[in-house]
Amino acid sequence: MKKIISIIICLCMFLPIKINAEEIQLAQNAGSAILIEFETGEIIFEKNAHEKLHPASMTKIMSMLIIMEHIDKGLISWDDIVTVSANASGMGGSQILLETNEKMAVRDLFKGIAVASGNDAVVAMAEYIAGTEDAFVTMMNDKVKELGLTDTNFKNVHGLDDANHYSSAYDMAYMARELIKHKSVLEYTSIYEDYLRKGTDKEFWLVNTNKLVRFYEGADGLKTGYTSEAGYCLTATATRNNMRLIAVAMNEPDSKTRNAEISSMLDYGFAQYSTEKVLSTDSILDKVLVDKGKKEYVEIVPTENITFLNKKTENSKNATYEIKLNELKAPLKKGDVIGTLIVKLDDNDQREVNITVKEDVEKCNIFELFLRYLCDVLGGNIKL
């Protein structure tokens, strides 16, 4: 049996309006483009967003995501030392000039991927994690499916042209959104210049291929790409006034046009929209009974922030919160999904997130349950 609690609150909400390319002069030279807001994942602007194109080195967004997942799960660490194979050191395209059998820490290889788009670095990491590049590519394609993306098929980890290696602006935007949930990524993608092997005779100067991290206010990532088949590509992210946007442009004619059109997309998003956080992961939704818990009652909270994207010129809306809870039985741990929070606007726009307990709740032992029963009897809560 599920417990349902409803709360109606008037909030200053505004409905986002998805804009098509024909309606405003954005990304006119791009073969495909999209602009989304990070927290909500809502589309602000799109142009041929699902067209399958070569992504070039934007492929490394997914490569970095797999690496970050392995780091965050403790399967590898930033300090691990990777021995570079002949296959990795022999990669063409952009490189950090790795040598066969050279040893380099994961953090430096990742920096070489995020900043300089090193094909040799990303292959070295793929082989370190999965044994072979092909096995790592399988991980990438499995992750694409897990994210529910349907426009993408990867054939390599770096993005050099292959007839069956393709993605879309839509898919790249949502891969990027997933990647930057790992916040430490931005510590690397925001670097404009740095060095590898500093102080040695093989010192290598890194300069970010994404010039927006230096020249666009609030930009801190994410990944450029170029091949003759793909044209000039960029997935960029920037934050202003507590709102993060992600913009993607594919098949641009040159890097100057690419950067200008990405900047215009971001400018439009920041000028026309804002976000409002209505509930956070610390917001207490209710205090509920836990069967056989050492604590009889526990506070419940959302597992993620509830944010709405506001079109600055739209009218306010009412929001309704509906809490659907499972029957709670100890033991429970913070993070356990114990129900669903449904947030509805009065025009049927809706968002759902999971609910969890604010703190761990241990299970009572038999003696504790007996004492609780005795107290209830003595207190008149239970009649014999």
155 catalytically annotated: no
The 10 Å Cβ neighbour count of residue 80 is 15
Decide: helix, strand or coil at residue 196: strand
The CA-atom distances, in angstroms, between 32 and each of 11, 49, 151, 210, 231 are: 35, 6, 13, 19, 11
The 10 Å Cβ neighbour count of residue 297 is 12
CA 349 from centre of chain: 23
Q: Are 358 and 300 in contact (CB under 8 A)?
A: yes
CA 326 from centre of chain: 28
The CA-atom distances, in angstroms, between 248 and each of 116, 184, 201, 363 are: 19, 21, 38, 49
Say which of 32, 47, 60, 168 is annotated catalytic. 60
Say which of 32, 57, 168, 274 is annotated catalytic. 57
Q: DSSP code of 84?
A: P
Residues 188, 182: Cα–Cα separation, whole Å: 11
Beta bridge partners of 289: 297
Q: Is the dihedral of CA 176, 132, 158, 153 positive or negative?
A: negative
Residue 320 has phi, psi (to 5 degrees) of -115, 130
- The token pair that represents 74 in the structure block: 């403790």
103 catalytically annotated: no
What is the residue type of 221? Answer: G
Say which of 94, 117, 168, 263 is annotated catalytic. 117
117 catalytically annotated: yes
Residues taking part in catalysis: 57, 60, 117
